Structure 1
């Protein structure tokens, strides 16, 4: 599946005149960046690696207090839609370093607080069956509602309130998976089914010796997701960070499926 991405973003970023951006499609397994371009008005740019070496971050220093950019890309996604059929999760002592880090609690995913719950609710399951059960439980028990959480909301808050946005769904899947001794990390991404169109958040779990995307919101599937970056939770993968408070002026995100030959399909034009 080839996807077309078109992002327009404008912020007033204040006196610091510096912002770190994570908006580019990552050069990552299961997806190939066919073309991409970032245009930022009158700004100095420096690129650094993303968390765990996945994706890039851009330090931008605009000449004025306003940061305006456009990002366009076409990405070919080749990963499978279905999770692998793994009867057992990888034992902790067999995990590689890249997965072991994502087995531990983090600020927004205090997985150690969910150990008793996952033992009681998912204790008879293992491997892929447990991940599917966790995904389905989050999808069923948490209501997707805009403006129901903020930048301080943790998985514990979401568990208690039973509502949230994609960020909260991803944190819940990560927290419950880690509490089940299955490494899980937070992923920022683009998807054509995200409603309303925005930067999206999903989880990624370690099964069968590799990472696999999981979206409990039901708005995307692994074969139609473009990964931007990963992290322990939302702290590690924001689309923009500034030293001072920033004011949103414009944000438009369009992700479309392309017809054969790279053209945007009529049903997906925005």
Structure 2
């Protein structure tokens, strides 16, 4: 049920400043994510430290959900902050919520339309494949070179160190089977159930909350035995489950009964 490192301590401080009230689900403007503050701070640091354009291309990464509090970076602001540096490749780690945000009731530009150059999405989360895998999308080719493979007589244009072909086949099958309607139905089901989780957990006094485009429900860290039994991701004073398609209201109620 289970990010970058900008500097772990600084990242943690930023997320604490970004955190909405711990008792509610939020349905207001996207500034509840606090990402705009992060981007503005990042922008000030970038402009202060990048006097002039650089000849060496740079790379920066945005997240659609940090590990501890599911904080989401605002990609358009990061793109604007990076502009003074010249050529900057902006990668979006959309593994946590890349297949949720497009179907959420609150609009949050995070992909190519927001200025991203590449995006990574998990295949073993919302899609539900049985092995860790993912999808990488990019504006341009990741490499301009090819290598002739003599024994099969073709050019090798694939990314090196790739995973096995079975994951690719299963991803293709799952996406064909689900389609856009199926993906949207899964995402909306999980978003609704995340709101239900907040309501259920609020009654046992653990101060739950979640962002409006996330299915990560954050609450006060329980006893270690409970965290292990329920495979909760825990760090510091907080823990969270992630509401995925297999989660049910009944399982959330059982978790709530285990918490006091």
> Under a length normalisation based on structure 1, what TM-score does the superposition of the two structures give?
0.24
> Under a length normalisation based on structure 2, what TM-score does the superposition of the two structures give?
0.24
Report which of the two structures shows the higher radius of gyration computed on alpha carbons: 2
- Determine which structure has the larger helix proportion and give its number: 2
- Determine which structure has the larger strand proportion and give its number: 1
